[in-house]
Amino acid sequence: MTNTLSKDEIRARHRVWRDPWHFLAFGFGSGLAKVAPGTFGTLAAIPVYLLLLQLGWFWYGIVTVAAFFIGIKICQKTSEDLKVHDFSGIVWDEFVGFWITMFLIPLHWQWLVLGFVLFRFFDILKPWPIRILDQKVEGGFGIMIDDVLAGIYAWIVLYLIIEFY
């Protein structure tokens, strides 16, 4: 698979509104943003995060783990349909990565903003071993795992900031 889109593949993006797999992979349409789709995907993850909080931490964790495993299939299918590995509009991985970042973090606007910034920082920078996994691991798991690790890195930093704040 390549990282450039043909006209047929661009038209395939419009399946987002007709195909439930694509709708989820594109973060309810947020991944269709022409610039910074990952950032828009992370922003779209915030309202879902606020809903997840209502479940309590145990179920929040269960749903996040389930979203990871379901995300492997969602991202794999959408990537295959578009014939582009890890197309930038696929943002389900950003949803899960952000939810990991915010796991067990107290709900307060400053932690929400900082969690968002930290997750985007690690997702974009891709420090070791995230970059290696991003480059070497294929398929739906490859699409998901770099954002999971970025979420873990962001969670560690956010947790330490909260502990020493």
Residue 97: partners with Cβ closer than 8 Å, 6 or more residues away: 42, 119, 123, 147, 148, 150, 151, 154
pLDDT of residue 14: 75
pLDDT of residue 11: 57
Domain ranges of the chain: 7-164
Q: What is the DSSP string of 81-110?
A: HHTBTT-TT--HHHHHHHHHHTTT----HH
What is the CB neighbour count within 10 angstroms for residue 48? 16
Give me 53's structure tokens.
């909080």
pLDDT of residue 117: 98
What is the CB neighbour count within 10 angstroms for residue 7? 7
Q: Name the amino acid, one letter, at 46.
A: I
pLDDT of residue 4: 62
pTM of the predicted model over 0.75: yes
d(C-alpha 42, C-alpha 91), whole Å: 8
What is the CB neighbour count within 10 angstroms for residue 25? 31
Q: Give average pLDDT by consecutive 10-residue segment, the chain, 165 residues.
A: 56 76 94 92 98 98 98 95 86 98 97 98 95 92 96 98 93
